[in-house]
Structure 1
Amino acid sequence: MAEVKLLGVWYSPFSHRVEWALQIKGVKYEYIEEDLQNKSSLLLESNPIDKKIPVLIHNGKAICESMVIVEYIDETFEGPSILPKDPYERAIARFWIKFFEDKGQAVGKTFFLKGEDQEKGKEELCEMLKILDNELKDKKFFVGDKFGFADIGANVLGLWLGVFEEITGVVLAKREKYPNFCPWRDEYINCTQNKKYLPPRDELLDKFKSRFQAAQAAAVASAAK
C-alpha cells in the first residue's frame, strides 16, 4: 500500500487544495500539521528551496506547490478526474490556475497591508473580480460542467475572500457589481458535494480574526514608538 503524507496548515487555502484532491480520489493519507513559526525538520528536508507548505510525500518522495501536487494526485491515483479529459479544456484550466497565481497576491495586499499598498491591492482585486465575472457569464463553473481543477485553484476567492471581508469590513465582492462571480462563490460554499471538502467557516473566522487583531496591535505599537 502506498504511503502518503501531507504536510500542511489547516487554515491554509493551499493545503486545502491538496486535501480536497486527496479526498476526491479517496486516497488515505497521514496529515501532519506544521507550525510555521517552528518548521519541522521533515518540512525543511522535504522542501529545502521554499521551505513552505503544502508538501505531499508519496512513498518517500516529496512533491511541492499546491496545484502541482493536485495534478500529481490526479495522474497518480484512481478515482474521479480532477483535470478535464479534453486537451483544450485542460489547457484552459491550467490557464486559469496561472491567472490565479499571477493575480492572487491582490487578496493579501487588500486585507493584510495598509495605506497605499492596500489601496493598490483593492484596485488589483477589483480588476481581477471584473475579469472573472465576465468569464463566468452564462457559465456555472470555470471549465466544464462540474467543479474541477480551476475551481479548486480559485479556493481563496471561493471561501477565504468572504472570511477576510467579514473580519475587516472591507467588502469588495458585491453582488450588484459582480452578478456572475457571486453565484459561483455561493455554489462553491453551499453545494452539498463541496461542503464535505471545505474547512469550517466559523473556525476560519476565529483563526483569522485573531491574526488580524494581532497584526493591528503590532501596527499600533509600532506607530506609538
Structure 2
Amino acid sequence: MATSDVRIPPLTSAASDPPPLFDGTTRLYMSYTCPYAQRVWIARNYKGLQDKIELVPIDLLNKPAWYKEKVYPENKVPCLEHNGKVLGESLDLIKYLEANFQGPSLFPTDPAKREFGEQLVAYVDELCMNVYASFKGDTVQQYSASFDYLDNALGRFDDGPFFLGQFSWVDVVYGPFIERFHIVFSEVYKNDITNGRPKLAPYIQELSKIDAYKPTKVDPKEFVEIFRIRFLGQQ
C-alpha cells in the first residue's frame, strides 16, 4: 500500500481546514464507507496513481462546511479536483481517470466484452435498488433473483473469475456493493448469498486478492452498524 493510502481520520466540520485548494494537486474527495467513492479509489489504485492523486477522506455524517462551499456544491462524494476543476459521479470519474491518466486499462478491447460490460453497468443501479427494497420485505426471497443474475453474468467469459473474465471496470462498479451485500446478509440475516451460486463465491474470494481493491475494503463491523441505523432504524 502506498504511503498516501494510510487511513488518516476523516475531515469533519469541527476539526478541519480545507487543503490548499486548486494549488495543482489532484485530490480525490471520498469516504471510507461510501461504495461510490470506493469505486474511484479502486480505479485510482489499479492505474497506479497513488502518488498522483491524493485521498481526502470526508466524514459523511459531519461534513466540513468548506467542502460544499469551496469544493463541490453537490456536497457528496466522490469528487475529483484536477487541473483547476472539480468533477463528480463515480462512473464518470472512472472513465475520466481512464482517459486522462496513464496506467493499466480497466476497459477491455474485445468488442463482445465491451458490449456486455456496458450492459452490466447500465443495470447496476436497478439491481442495487432491488436488493435494498428486499430489506423491507421477505429479504431472502426477494433478493434471490438479483444474486442469481450476478452468478449467471459471471459465467459469460471463461478466461478468468471476473465479470469480463479478467478484472475490469465492471468489477470496480459492482465490487463495493457485492462486498457490502455479502457482509450484511451474513451478519444481519444469517444467510450466505453465495449458497447455490457456484461462481459468486470464487468471485468474492478473487476480488479480495486484487491489490488495488484490498486497501479499500470496508470494515465489516462498522458497515453493519451503519446498516442497522440506516435501514433497520436500530441505534
Asked whether the two chains share a fold, i.e. TM above 0.5, the reply is yes
| SS of alignment partner, residue 85 of structure 1 | coil
Determine the C-alpha separation between the residues in 2 that align with 1:14 and 1:136.
21
Deviation at 1:204, TM superposition (A): 1.2
Deviation at 1:157, TM superposition (A): 4.4
- One-letter code of the match for 2:103? G
Determine the C-alpha separation between the residues in 1 that align with 2:167 and 2:24.
27
User: What are the Cα deviations for residues 33-63 of structure 1, in whole angstroms up to 9, with x where unaligned?
Assistant: 11222333454254434x3211111122112
**1:22 partnered with 2:44:** yes
Determine the C-alpha separation between the residues in 2 that align with 1:142 and 1:87.
14
Deviation at 1:2, TM superposition (A): 5.7
Identity %: 24
User: What are the Cα deviations for residues 134-165 of structure 1, in whole angstroms up to 9, with x where unaligned?
Assistant: 2222632211x410011111113442222212
| SS of alignment partner, residue 154 of structure 1 | helix
From the superposition, tell whether residues 215 and 148 of structure 1 become closer, same or farther in structure 2 (CA, over 3 Å): closer
**1:100 partnered with 2:124:** yes
- What's the TM-score once normalised by structure 1's chain length? 0.78
The answer to whether the 8 Å contact 2:40/2:90 transfers is: yes
From the superposition, tell whether residues 8 and 94 of structure 1 become closer, same or farther in structure 2 (CA, over 3 Å): same
- One-letter code of the match for 1:9? S
Of 3-12 and 99-108, more deviation after overlay is shown by 99-108
Determine the C-alpha separation between the residues in 2 that align with 1:92 and 1:2.
37
Determine the C-alpha separation between the residues in 2 that align with 1:90 and 1:105.
24
Q: Which of residues 219, 222, 229 in structure 2 aligns to 1:204?
A: 219
- What's the TM-score once normalised by structure 2's chain length? 0.75
The answer to whether the 8 Å contact 1:63/1:69 transfers is: yes
* Number of the residue aligned with 1:150: 170
Matches within 5 A, 1:176-187: 177-187=196-206
From the superposition, tell whether residues 3 and 124 of structure 1 become closer, same or farther in structure 2 (CA, over 3 Å): farther
* Number of the residue aligned with 1:52: 76
Q: Which of residues 18, 29, 33 in structure 2 aligns to 1:11?
A: 33
Q: Which of residues 114, 125, 137 in structure 1 aligns to 2:143?
A: 125
From the superposition, tell whether residues 118 and 59 of structure 1 become closer, same or farther in structure 2 (CA, over 3 Å): farther
RMSD over aligned Cα atoms: 2.8
More helix by percentage: 1
From the superposition, tell whether residues 178 and 148 of structure 1 become closer, same or farther in structure 2 (CA, over 3 Å): same
- One-letter code of the match for 2:84? G
Matches within 5 A, 1:66-77: 66-77=90-101
Determine the C-alpha separation between the residues in 2 that align with 1:149 and 1:213.
30
- One-letter code of the match for 2:169? F
Determine the C-alpha separation between the residues in 2 that align with 1:127 and 1:19.
29
Determine the C-alpha separation between the residues in 2 that align with 1:47 and 1:26.
25
Give ranges in structure 2 of 5+ residues lacking alignment: 1-22
Determine the C-alpha separation between the residues in 1 that align with 2:110 and 2:54.
32
**1:32 partnered with 2:52:** no
**1:80 partnered with 2:104:** yes
The answer to whether the 8 Å contact 1:158/1:188 transfers is: no
- One-letter code of the match for 1:13? P
Determine the C-alpha separation between the residues in 2 that align with 1:153 and 1:6.
17
From the superposition, tell whether residues 87 and 216 of structure 1 become closer, same or farther in structure 2 (CA, over 3 Å): closer
The answer to whether the 8 Å contact 2:24/2:84 transfers is: no
Give ranges in structure 1 of 5+ residues lacking alignment: 221-225
Determine the C-alpha separation between the residues in 2 that align with 1:142 and 1:172.
20
